[in-house]
Amino acid sequence: MGYYNSNEPKKKRTGYFASSFSGLVAGALLVGVAIPQFTDVDAAAENQPRTVETASGIQNVSDIVTTDVTEIVDATSAAVVGVTNLKTAQQNPFMPAAGAEAQEAGTGSGVIYKKDGGSAYIVTNNHVVEGAERVKVTLADETELDAEVLGTDVWTDLAVLKVDSGSISTIAEFGDSSVLKAGEPVIAIGNPLGLQFSGSVTTGVVSGTERLVPIDINGDGTEDWQAEVLQTDAAINPGNSGGALINSQGQVIGINSMKIAQDAVEGIGLAIPINSAIPIIQDLEAKGEVERPSIGVSIMDLSSVPQQYRNSQLGLPEDVTEGVVVSEVAPGSGAEKAGIQPYDVIVELDGKAVNSVLELRQHLYTQAEVGDTLKVKVYRGGELVDAKIELTESL
């Protein structure tokens, strides 16, 4: 299964994770037929007749059709912007690099969520601005602004930008993604395939909530995280990354993040739930990073250790086949202070079985915070040992 990558979770921060792409042009006149949940307003009050005279002198009468969808798009679309990643092109090694101009390396979308004094703040995806030397924001009226990247987070695939607010009048309103139900109508707005399709609108429904999608963060072919996302059948395409998924009240309930890209798959778009995104956005805006807890160890899946080494090196009982092997312990870390040693096999955290690195990370990032004390069970030389680890901030 392939993914276009574009979620702080918790007991204290729920559903931290997720990576993204969305939107292609949807005809507004078709929406009332395709998505009956968005109802047309009173035609007598809203539809304004227009007379057109042709060359033959015959008059045709047409209506300006206004629906709930068009009203929502009119009210919110200006809060969705284009985001361009600019990098300096690789230079001829025999030519001076001085004076080389940054060129477009990729485009995506973003959502203006706050205006404070002379600054406006935009949320987008990390992968949209990753590696950028400069970032440019293009407003709905084609005004271009230089943007400052305040912070990025690879785990949730979110980033926050700051621009001058002088040209900005429309701010998106965040909704509540926790109350969404399957079948609820949604609108996706963004820039699929680049700025030439800027402000594209697609409609659909919430196909599912609290979906878990495996993510390979570092590209090594191993799943590093399971992103908690919303599923929608509103069209999501490359370039919509960072765009808005909007409910029938005109509120942003998701940041369009990715799609499942398989020949046999259609209509599975994914978005970061806004309730999961908000604490990340706040951290990135205020501190430029997300504070996450750490045990202070290097680890690997027990399943990747050959059976003979599980017995000879780790001394595990035959029935212990899943867990996390400690390969190194950081000096001065909570793990070292708790007496954790290399070759310990972690099998339980806070009373819950831990079968893999992914599960351990999921527990740390969604169920714990810096300063918490984690109850751990490890196998050491064939014996089950209890330990308590105080969590510190990840480096």
User: Which residues belong to the active site?
Assistant: 127, 157, 241
Cα diameter, the chain: 95
Measured CA to CA, the distance from residue 216 to residue 263 in angstroms comes to: 20
State which amino acid sits at residue 130. Answer: E
The pair of structure tokens assigned to 153 is 């987070």
3-state secondary structure the chain: CCEECCCCCCCCCCCCCCCCCCCCCCCHHHHHHHCCCCCECCHHHHCEEEEEECCCCCEEEEEECCEHHHHHHHHHHHHEEEEEEEEECCCCCCCCCCCCCEEEEEEEEEEEEEEECCEEEEEECHHHHCCCCEEEEECCCCCEEEEEEEEEECCCCEEEEEEECCCCCCCCCECCHHHCCCCCEEEEEECCCCHHHCCEEEEEEEEEEEEEEEECCCCCCCCCEEEEEEEECCCCCCCCCCCEEECCCCCEEEEEEEEECCCCCCCCEEEEEHHHHHHHHHHHHHHCCCCCEECCEEEEEHHHCCHHHHHHCCCCCCCCCCCEEEEEECCCCHHHHCCCCCCCEEEEECCEECCCHHHHHHHHHHHCCCCCEEEEEEEECCEEEEEEEECEECC
Cβ distance 125 to 6 under 8 Å? yes
Report the DSSP beta bridge partners of residue 187.
203, 246
- Please give the C-alpha separations between residue 317 and each of 301, 310, 342, 380, 381, in angstroms, as whole numbers: 16, 9, 18, 11, 9
Cβ distance 20 to 4 under 8 Å? yes
219: number of Cβ within 10 Å: 8
